[in-house]
Amino acid sequence: MRRWPLVGGALAGAAGWAVYNGQAPKPQAFGRTFIGTPGDGKLMALTYDDGPNTAWTPTLLELLAKHDVKATFFSIGHYAREEPALLREVAAAGHAVGNHTYSHVAMPFHTDEAVRRELRLATEAIEDAGVEMARAQGRRLMRPPWGRRRPGTLRVLREEGYVPIVWSVTLWDWTKHVTTEKIMRKAERQIRGGDVILLHDGCNVAMGWDRSHSVQATELILTQWKDQHGYEFVTIPEMIERTGFVAP
């Protein structure tokens, strides 16, 4: 009779381990992903998911240009279809553009065939916009929506010629009732150098989403860590090259 609590506890522990390793950004148990070199070095990378967004991506591009910083944008494929000219502006400004699936699916809950289709449709939409996708070590960049992954997900990414990019600093700028002050409190607690920072210029829910707080936080992050503390902000391909990461 006493075995059942033990078995239940073991199953719950295994489930918790799987969820943690399949969604938390830093774990590598399911396969290697690029998260920067958190806590080590003066390089940092700003990354933006879920664009392009007509409401705030142009303002963000102006801000990054003012600070002479290049970032990495992970584009949702159907937004690339809707706003190809805006995505071209992102690329023309020297920023790296990567794949964020066509419709922002949670990839671990889909078949390999469905994942391949999402990747292909997103890449086609980006390239049809006239944008060359960023590459590192010969592979295109891809960020799984919500960072969700399983061993099979990462296997498909490798087979399709992508480097999986996650992050080391989560600023929760997509949450309800977010403010610039809340984002910056999280930044100050987490940023230690060598970080890949997750922010959003768009939203998977709809075009035109308010990302004013993300843009304002970007200004403050660059002012504090670049201008005051001398950190260098680079694209993901440059960070991979300069840190010696070897894609699996």
Of residues 46, 81, 92, the one with CA closest to residue 201: 46
| Residue range 104-128: mean pLDDT, rounded | 97
State the first-to-last Cα distance of the chain, in angstroms, to the nearest integer: 46
Q: Where are the alpha helices (DSSP H) in 174-231?
A: 180-190, 212-221
pLDDT at 11: 54
pTM: 0.94
- Catalogue all structural domains in the chain, each as residue range(s) with its CATH number: 3-243 (3.20.20.370)
Cα dist from 51 to 76, 104, 115, 151, whole Å? 6, 11, 20, 27
Determine what percent of the chain is predicted with pLDDT higher than 90: 90
Q: Please, are residues 201 and 195 in contact by the beta-carbon 8 Å criterion?
A: no
**Active site (annotated) includes residue 104:** no
- Exactly one of 49, 50, 173, 201 is catalytic; which is it? 49
pLDDT single digits (tens) 58-76: 999 999 999 999 999 999 9
The band of 246, judged by pLDDT with boundaries at 50, 70 and 90, is confident
236: left (phi over 0), alpha (psi -120 to 50) or beta: alpha
**Active site (annotated) includes residue 49:** yes
* SS3 call for 170: strand
**DSSP class of 144:** -
Alpha-carbon span 139 to 91, nearest angstrom: 17
pLDDT single digits (tens) 179-210: 999 999 999 999 999 999 999 999 999 999 99
- Exactly one of 95, 100, 200, 213 is catalytic; which is it? 200
Alpha-carbon span 204 to 200, nearest angstrom: 10
